[in-house]
Structure formats: structure tokens, C-alpha cells
Amino acid sequence: MTPSHLRLGVNIDHVATVRNARGGLSPDPVRAAREALAAGADGITAHLREDRRHISDADLEGLSALLREQAQPLNLEMAVTQEMLDIALVHRPHAVCLVPEKREERTTEGGLDVAGGHNWITPVVARLNDAGSRVSLFIGADPAQIDAAHRTGAAVVELHTGAYCDAVREGHADRAEVELRALQAGATRATALGLEVHAGHGIDYDTVAAVAAIPEVMELNIGHFLIGEAIFVGLGPAIARMRGLMDAARGLEPAS
């Protein structure tokens, strides 16, 4: 497979987390989205959670307007619920990534159980497809989940990179290797079924290269680490460095 441009979706949820620590308007996730696009993000990702712990309905309005104005893709992450489906059908974002959601979790801890929940996920995928949103299912790199994702009619799977990234950070080289192989095999399997492959969760400067080097992966969605780095170097430089690492892993010349 020839190396191709790997898209970077920047998840700006945690700008809203910082804002919500105090209430008020600052820092503004819509401003962060604008700066991320100016710095080379290929799209913006935001997760509207059932408990609205970070992104709010008003943020989603603002993000939808910004991305429409800039003709750039908005990827809305959401749980498979009637409330979220109704919201997505109003906004009709470019992409919707269906994720599992538990109130007590700190972040999206595992992938969707598509194999177990096939019957309730499929009609939601169909409604979103009909509305013109490109549907992605956030799953572990497990063959049964990939095959089930394909049967739902979704166009995309986003492979959960959290276990790989945790293994690297914790210094477990053997486990990291196993997780990386699973991601590689999952990307190959999904592509053979005609699914587009995205990847994300927990990616930082140390883990991005191995994931970006998987040729079938077309998009990475990265949030928490970039927003954290932005505190030290600014959002633009953090994104530019991530972009550079992605391009290098893909064997592409850095943009001048």
C-alpha cells in the first residue's frame, strides 16, 4: 500500500473540561477548534456526553457553525442513545463516531460491543447514513467486532489504541508489541471488508509513530495529550509536532 496523507482529527473536549472547572466562557472550545484548523488539523472531533461533563449543546452549535463556515469535517462522538441520535440528526455532522459510554468512567474505556449489540446499533447506523453522516464505530481490534461492525452498514471503524498506548507508557514492551500487532491485523481485516480505518485514544508523541505507520489507517483522532501539551507550548506548535511525527511515520516529506 502506498503511503498516503494521514488525517489528524483534533479532539477539543478537554478545552471544555478546563472551562467547566470554573464555569464561564474561557477557554472556548470553538476558539481552540479554529486554532487547531489553522495549525493543520484536518477536522475537529468532539464528544457530547450524556452528562455534558465537557462539551455542551451550545459548544456543539458553535462547532457545527465554525466547521460549516470553514468547510471542514466535524466528527461528533456520541453514545448510541435516542437523545444523541436526535441531536445528530439536527446537526448532521460530516461524521458520527458511535462510542460506548458509562457515567462512572473517566474517559471512553473500551470499544463498543458491536458483536453483542448488533441489533440495536444497526438501525442507528442506518438513520445516520440516511442523514448523510459518515458513521464510524469505535471498537477494539478484535476480529468479531470488526466483522460485526461491517454488518451494521457503518463505513468506518475507529480502532481503540488505548491498550497499546498504556502498554508503551507503562514500559511493557511485550504487551505493546501484542497490542500493536492486533491493531495492524485489525486494520488489514477491516480494510479487506471495505471499511475505512481510523484509530485513536491515548496517543501521544511516543506512541503516534507506530500507529501512523499502519498503512491502512486513514485518520487519527487525538485529544487529551494535545490539549495538555498546549499548556506548555501552545496548541498550534503541539499540533504541528504531532503532524510532523505522523508524516515522518508515513514516509512523507514534512510540509514546508
β partners of residue 138? 158
Closer residue to ligand PXP, CB minimum distance, 73 or 200:
200
Residues 33-92 binding ligand PXP (CB under 6 A) are 47, 77
Q: 3-state DSSP call for residue 238? A: helix
Work out the angle at residue 127's Cα, subtended by the Cα atoms of residues 126 and 133, and round it to the nearest 5 degrees: 90
- Which of residues 37, 78, 97, 195 is near ligand PXP by CB under 6 A? 97
- Which of residues 8, 10, 11, 238 is near ligand PXP by CB under 6 A? 11
Task: Encode burial over 162-172: b for 16+ CB neighbours within 10 A, e otherwise.
Answer: bbbbbbbeeee
Residue 201: active-site member: yes
Closer residue to ligand PXP, CB minimum distance, 32 or 97:
97
Distance CA(136)–CA(146), nearest Å, equals 11
Give start and end residues of each alpha helix (H) in the chain: 13-22, 29-38, 57-69, 82-91, 114-130, 143-152, 162-169, 173-192, 208-212, 224-233, 235-249
User: Which stretch of DSSP H or E encloses residue 104?
Assistant: none
Q: Interface mask (CB under 6 A) for ligand PXP, residues 102-141, using x and -?
A: -----xx-----------------------------x---
Distance CA(134)–CA(121), nearest Å, equals 14
- Which of residues 59, 78, 187, 225 is near ligand PXP by CB under 6 A? 225
Is the CB of residue 249 less than 8 Å from the CB of residue 9?
no
Catalytic residue among 14, 47, 91, 198: 47
Closer residue to ligand PXP, CB minimum distance, 30 or 208:
208
- Going by C-alpha positions, the residue among 1, 10, 8 that lies closest to residue 29 is 10
Q: Interface mask (CB under 6 A) for ligand PXP, residues 180-209, using x and -?
A: --------------------xxxx------
C-alpha grid cell, residue 246 = 505522523
Residues 230-249 binding ligand PXP (CB under 6 A) are none
Closer residue to ligand PXP, CB minimum distance, 186 or 200:
200
Closer residue to ligand PXP, CB minimum distance, 224 or 241:
224
State in angstroms the smallest separation of the CB of 226 from ligand PXP: 7
- Which of residues 152, 184, 191, 221 is near ligand PXP by CB under 6 A? 221
CB hemisphere CA count around 130 (13 angstroms): 9
Distance CA(192)–CA(205), nearest Å, equals 29
Closer residue to ligand PXP, CB minimum distance, 13 or 142:
13
Pick the stretch among 34-42, 112-120, 219-227, 245-253 that binds ligand PXP (CB under 6 A): 219-227
Name the residues annotated as catalytic.
Answer: 47, 77, 201
Which stretches of the chain bind ligand PXP, using CB under 6 A?
A: 11, 13, 47, 77, 97, 99, 107-108, 138, 158, 200-203, 221-225
